[in-house]
Every structure is written in structure tokens, then in C-alpha cells.
A and B are shown apart, each in its own frame.
Chain A
Amino acid sequence: MTATSLPTATITTSPQPASAHASADFTPRYWLFAAPAVLVVAAVIVFPWLFTLYMSSQDWKIGGGPEFVGLHNFRELFNDARFIESMGHTAYFTILAVVLPIVFGTAAALVFHREFPFRGLLRTIFVMPMMATPVAVALVWTMMFHPQLGVLNYLLSLVGIGPQPWVYSPNAVIPTLILVEVWHWTPLVMLIVLGGLAGLPAEPYESALIDGANDWHMFRHITLPLVWPFIMVAIVIRTIDALKAFDTIFVITQGGPGTASETLNIFLYLQAFQFYKIGYASAVVVIFFVIIIMLSLLLLYARQKSKWNA
């Protein structure tokens, strides 16, 4: 199958010409429609990008003036153990916060693809975490993680599991934050994969049944290859979102205990708005930006490849 009919195709690729007589309509008269947006985007999006690039070459603390230092901030960053550590935390967090929602979300999509009583209602409940205000939910999680009074340790004790330290132990904090992230964003993966399942043809399943294939075989050899382009889209989106994760980590741990859950985002925030090192923090943004662009290109490339193979 080719993925050209994907409704989600526009997420990651540039818009394709929709009508055949495209070139004939290419006239400046349409520019006027975009002009106000161009102005606003230039002011609040492009200007900050360029200004960040400029600031990354300055030694600049809030209150003082800028001083040109070239690439010094970058050199300092790569010698900053705390920065390197935060990169490691980000990688750890991102990998699990992509893989787990992809697996659970795909499984959930297979379940919600079937017809069953109350499906609409149950799907709405399942989707709610993804829309809920992250800060509000993070506060509730914080109360649930409380080591003595938290409801989670109580529920675990009911099934005979001892109390967990959750976010209070350096080793458990990142897995715990991943738990929250999985809770939050598995629904998005489910919705994307569900969209893929909705477009599946019935014929391959019918012939497979005649050939005596079981459920697992049909999933492995028919469903999975056919929805793979959708799963790739979900992987791209999840990766970028996981890299951007900030609100819940900031509210629940502020990067702690110590620096055990300090991701790139938290490091960046602290450098800029706690230590007021504007230039240094801007260099982090530039590195962050490069990572996101490179990963997006890599994943787009992988998606392109998977299109031909699927």
C-alpha cells in the first residue's frame, strides 16, 4: 500500500498541490491573505529565533549588558557536567516516553477499533488525559505519589506490593515521570493508529481466515504492515513531544531530587530564569533546536522509507 491517502500525511510533509491547475493560480494576490500572519510570525516566532542565535554568542546576564564571546558558551556547555547529565536524562526519558505510549497506544487502538457496548463513552474517558491541563493533573499526581499518604502506595499494598519511593528517589524519579507522560499521551497514539485502522481493507483478513491464520498472525502480517505509516507518524510526534516535555516535570519535581530528573528543558529554564544566564541558556536553546530539527529529518526519512516498504 502507498501512504498517499493518509489523512495524517500533512502532519509531517509540506502541503502538496491540491488541484491540477496549480501553477496557473500562482499569483501574488494570495500573498495579501498571508501578510498579517507573516508579520506576526516574523515578530513573535522568527525574531525570537534570530535573537536567540545572537544571544548564544554573548556573555549576558540579566541586569548586565551583552558581551561578545563567540562560541565560548557552547564550549562551556560541553564541559558542563550538569548539562551533559541533563542530556542523558533527556535521552532516557525520551526513549521510554516514545516506546511505551507507542506500544500501549497501538494496543488500545486495536481494542477501540472493535465494536462493543459503551465504546464511545469509554473512548472519551480514555482520551481525556491528553486534553487535561498538564499542571492540574501534575498536582494530582504529586498528591498520589506522596510516600505516606498517597493513594498509589495504598493501592499497591492491596495487591501485596510494598511502598514505592516514586519521585522521592533519584533512581525511581524518571520512571515515575515517564508513568505520568505515558498516562498523558498514550491516547494521542491511540487516535492516530485508530485512524489508520479505520482505513484497512477487509479482503486480506478474509483470505487469511480461509488459510487458517490466527489472530496474532493476522496482526503481525496484515495489520501491522498496513498501519505502520501511521505508527511512524505517531513516533515522530511522540519524539518531538517527549523532547519538549516540561510542565509535568517542572511541577512534580523541578528537576529533583537533586538534579536526578533535570532534563534539557529544566536545565534551560533554570539557567535562564533562576541563574539569569541569558547567553548561556540561549546556547542551550540553539543546541535543542538543532537536535529537534535533526531528529525530525531523521524520522521523516524513516517514514519515507517505511512508505515504500509497506
Chain B
Amino acid sequence: MTRLLKRIGFWASVFVLVSPAVLVFLWMISLSFKNELDNTAFPPVFIPNPPTLKNYVDVFEKNDFALYLWNSILVTGGAVLIGLAVGVPAGYGIARGKATKFAILILVARMTPALSYLIPLFLLFQITGLVGTITALVITHLVITIPIIVWIMIGYFENVPMELEDAARIDGATTWQAFRHVALPLARPGIVVGGILAFIFSWNNFIFSVVLGGKASRTLPSAVYNSLTFEQISWGPLAAAALLVTLPVLLVTVLAQREIVAGLSAGGLKDG
């Protein structure tokens, strides 16, 4: 009897834990597939009947959603690729060269609010005429991608045994070749983890694009926010747009859950 009660209690706690996430995401999906009449009905309509794709069509036809999607891909893609190109060797250099001070600097950069970089960078871009360009956004997103990638790569390169590189060097390899052909392949899981987390944090970033993005260079999160404030508020298209914005990140989460968990326990902080 107590066993049964314990089981019921256990499943009740699982239900309590999971239901808030289920509620928000299901409600988001529900809103995005209902017509406007059902979305503003009270009591609320939960199951779209009949489901409509009109909201999604509206998102693409009435807004420049495709443009903003492309902007997001350019900004996040650019910042992640540059972040990897610069951050992976840096992680190696710091781990092998014991550059502890630079590592601490990277850590402090992870802790600093993103907002605090915005004022100086805004002025800088104003002077150089880059405000409202994709380039400015890519540069700013490096503030997000480089610290997380460097920090994760330090951890991975520290776990690559030095002996293997020593052996390669005895066979005549240069430091670069030891890095390129020995350490780098062994640290590949770290590159995947760092790349995924940098992608998620950069994709989700909102405030940089609000301040630095122009009408044509906005990324998705700020574009969706702007459509809320400047056009009439209709819930269906808004929910559809919100779902589309976060869908890539949620797909990556589902597909790469193990890597993300590994990365978060190695790299800790979220961005913001």
C-alpha cells in the first residue's frame, strides 16, 4: 500500500515538474494553429478546430520574415564560425601555455551583462557608420560566441594528454602540426559542444539587434518583438512567429541534448 502511494506521489511530482514546460509550449503551438476568433475566446479554446495555417502564411506574407531569418542565419553563422576559428586555437594556446590570466579575463567576460558592451560598441559603430549593418551585429555577437567557445575548449584541450603531442614532436612535427593533427581531432567533441552552445546563445540574443540592428538588418528575436509593438497585436501570427524563431534552437536541444549537458557542465554560464 505504501509502495503504491509512493509510486503515485513520485509520478505526481514528475507531472508537476514537466507540466509548466508542456503548458507553455503546447499553448504556443495551439495559438499558432487557431484562427483569431478562437484565440481571443473565453473560456479559451485549447484544440485548434479546424487547425489553420493562415497564421504561418501571414508571418511570411505580411512581414519580412524570410529576410529576418536570413539575417539571423548570417549573424549567428558568422559569429559562430569566426568564434570557432579564433576561439579553438586560443583554447589550445591557453590550455598549453597556462595563460591563466587570459582565462580569468574570458571568465569575467562571460559574467558581464551583454548590455554593458552595448553603449561603447554603439558609439563605435556610429562613428564608423556601421550602425544598422549585419557586420556590426556579427562583430557584437563575437562578445557572446568567443568567451563560451574559448572557455569550453580550454577544458577539452586540458584533457588531451600532452604525451601524444610530445611523441608527435619527437617525430619531427611542428607545434602547429601537433595541434592540427593530434590535439585538434581529439578535441573534436569540444568543438561540437562549443559550436552548439555558441549557436544557441547567439541565436537567442535579443538586445544587440534591438539597438544595433536597422530595419533591414534585424535578427529574428528583435524583429518578432517589433512586430508586437508597432503593428496591431494579433495573437495567432505572433505565436506562429515566436514558434518559428525558437524552433531551430529547440530542435538542436532535442538532437544534441547529451552534448549540451556536457557543455553546460563544462562551461556553465548562460549568456545575457
Q: Once the chains bind, are A47 and B120 in contact (CB under 8 Å)?
A: yes
Q: Which of A14-22, A81-89, A92-100 contacts B (4 or more CB under 8 A)?
A: A14-22
Q: Once the chains bind, are A183 and B21 in contact (CB under 8 Å)?
A: yes
User: Which residues of B are found within 8 Å of A30, using beta-carbon distances?
Assistant: 92-94, 96-97, 99, 175
Interface core residue of A37, A114, A140, A273 (most chain B CB under 10 Å): A37
Q: Which of A33, A36, A137, A148 is within 8 Å of B42, CB to CB?
A: A148
Q: Which of B48-56, B63-71, B186-194, B202-210 contacts A (4 or more CB under 8 A)?
A: B202-210
User: Which residues of B are found within 8 Å of A132, using beta-carbon distances?
Assistant: 25, 204, 246, 249-250
Q: Which of B109, B179, B257 is within 8 Å of A33, CB to CB?
A: B179
Does A202 interact with chain B (Cβ within 8 Å)? no
Does A220 interact with chain B (Cβ within 8 Å)? no
User: With the chains together, A8 CA to B75 CA distance in Å?
Assistant: 30
* Nearest neighbor of A11 in chain B, beta-carbon distance: B268
Known: A240-B269, A241-B272. A26 touches B98 (CB 8 A): yes
Known: A41-B106, A244-B113. A15 touches B119 (CB 8 A): no
Q: Which of B27, B124, B154 is within 8 Å of A15, CB to CB?
A: B154
User: With the chains together, A246 CA to B207 CA distance in Å?
Assistant: 9
User: With the chains together, A15 CA to B100 CA distance in Å?
Assistant: 7
Known: A15-B94, A132-B249. A48 touches B121 (CB 8 A): yes
User: Which residues of B are found within 8 Å of A273, using beta-carbon distances?
Assistant: 118, 122, 211
User: With the chains together, A48 CA to B204 CA distance in Å?
Assistant: 22
Q: Once the chains bind, are A247 and B206 in contact (CB under 8 Å)?
A: yes
User: Which residues of A are found within 8 Å of B235, using beta-carbon distances?
Assistant: 143
Q: How large is the interface on A (under 10, 10 to 19, 20 to 34, 35 or more residues)?
A: 35 or more
Q: Once the chains bind, are B44 and A149 in contact (CB under 8 Å)?
A: yes
* Nearest neighbor of A140 in chain B, beta-carbon distance: B28
Number of A-B contacts (CB under 8 A): 293
Does B177 interact with chain A (Cβ within 8 Å)? no
User: Which residues of B are found within 8 Å of A134, using beta-carbon distances?
Assistant: 204, 206, 221
* Nearest neighbor of A269 in chain B, beta-carbon distance: B115
* Nearest neighbor of B109 in chain A, beta-carbon distance: A45
User: Which residues of A are found within 8 Å of B182, using beta-carbon distances?
Assistant: none
Nearest-CB distance from B214 to chain A (Å)?
15
User: Which residues of A are found within 8 Å of B252, using beta-carbon distances?
Assistant: 131
User: With the chains together, A28 CA to B96 CA distance in Å?
Assistant: 10
Q: Which of A21, A33, A40 is within 8 Å of B146, CB to CB?
A: A40
User: With the chains together, A278 CA to B211 CA distance in Å?
Assistant: 14
User: Which residues of A are found within 8 Å of B122, using beta-carbon distances?
Assistant: 273
Does B224 interact with chain A (Cβ within 8 Å)? yes
Q: Which of B10, B102, B245 is within 8 Å of A135, CB to CB?
A: B245
Q: Once the chains bind, are A143 and B224 in contact (CB under 8 Å)?
A: no
Nearest-CB distance from B94 to chain A (Å)?
6
Q: Which of A71-79, A165-173, A282-290, A301-309 contacts B (4 or more CB under 8 A)?
A: A282-290
Q: Once the chains bind, are A129 and B24 in contact (CB under 8 Å)?
A: yes
Q: Once the chains bind, are B120 and A36 in contact (CB under 8 Å)?
A: no
Does A136 interact with chain B (Cβ within 8 Å)? yes
Does A3 interact with chain B (Cβ within 8 Å)? no
List 10 interface pairs A-B (beta carbons < 8 Å), by A numbering.
Answer: A7-B266, A8-B266, A11-B267, A15-B154, A18-B95, A25-B162, A128-B253, A139-B242, A149-B40, A241-B269
